[in-house]
Amino acid sequence: MVRNKQVVLNNYVRGWPKEGDFRLNWSETERELSSGIPDGTVGVLLKNLYLACDPYLRHRMSHNHVSHPGTILQNSFSPGSVLVGYGVGRVIESTHPEFKEGDHVWGLTGWEEYTFIPNPQNLNKIPYTDVPLSYYLGVLGMPGIAAYVGFFNLCCPKKGETVYVSTAAGGVGQLVGQFAKMTGCYVVGSASTKEKVHLAKEKFGFNDAFNYKEESDLGAALKRYFPQGIDIYFDNVGGRMLDEVLLQMRPHGRIAACGMISQYNLEEAEGIRNLFSLIPKTAEIKGYAETEFKHMYPQYLEFAFKNLREGSLQYVEDVAEGLENAASAFVGIFHGRNVGKQIIRVA
């Protein structure tokens, strides 16, 4: 038996998450699968190495969360339960024929040191280990495929079009901006600090970027950066920003609704007033779940890995050390404290 450090939900979260909504727990885990698993049961025991602080997890921390089967927005966590999210781990025991000891994998796992995954067919084997393994929680994982299909499949960009990306220095936004530049688009991003604005322009190659917190009039700011309007908006925030963008869209514009982080902690979501603009502009907005595009992951992985190797794709992470800092790291993403994709290094 080994002691297993875990991050559990202390209470259902109301409003903005607080560190007190979580606590560390220690349980005992069977080190040898064969000693504690009934005959005929298959699975793998993982030593978790990295965990992702993904904003969507906030939904599963609310008592009244509505489950969406087939997506990652499943049932709410119960108080006292271990959090579950995307992680990278090493297989230390296996009774499954497709996994062996020493394999590195990424997929849904517990926020803990060790996790037993029964029927692990949804785990992804990691084919390339000459990049940081944590990249499989970002550029080579869920945020990467979300950016790729949202931009290329939903927005169908054309060379010369204007592109606006909110949360331009986040795990998804930093990639969308670079994809837009690869396509020959003019791209502007917004972020919450001067440091992130600088990162978007100097590291990720955005044509321009601005700190939305310094803008008293979002509509005026958007007109300043897009005097001829916006062809593509990649939305990660929703709320007031989305409402203002609707008025700035060009005819036949496209909006990919990837996330709406500005709304996740509100007791009542903000309404959108300018939807009528979609009609005379013949524009469209579409939400999506990257889980519907699993079949495209091998294609995306080859694309992303090739560009990483060549240096034409950059990625920035913000790594918190240890499960004891997991709650602080998660809370921080809703206050803009992270620079790049927020990761927790477990071991």
Residues of the chain whose pLDDT is less than 50? 33, 36
Question: Which pLDDT score, from 0 to 100, does residue 66 have?
Answer: 66
Give 52's strand partners. Answer: 343
In the chain, DSSP finds a helix count (H) and a strand count (E) of 8, 15
Residue 255 has which token pair?
Answer: 């909006």
Question: Which pLDDT score, from 0 to 100, does residue 58 have?
Answer: 95
Closest to 10 (Cα-Cα) out of 21, 26, 25? 21
DSSP category for residue 205: -
Question: Which pLDDT score, from 0 to 100, does residue 323 have?
Answer: 98
Question: Which pLDDT score, from 0 to 100, does residue 65 have?
Answer: 66
Residues 218-274: pLDDT tens digits?
A: 999 999 999 999 999 999 999 999 999 999 999 999 999 999 999 999 988 898 999
Question: Which pLDDT score, from 0 to 100, does residue 74 have?
Answer: 76
Q: Give me the DSSP letters along 101-164.
A: TT-EEEEEEESBSEEEEESGGG-EE----SS-GGGGGTTTSHHHHHHHIIIIIIS---TT-EEE
pTM above 0.85, yes or no: yes
CA distance 286 to 189: 20
Question: Which pLDDT score, from 0 to 100, does residue 36 have?
Answer: 45
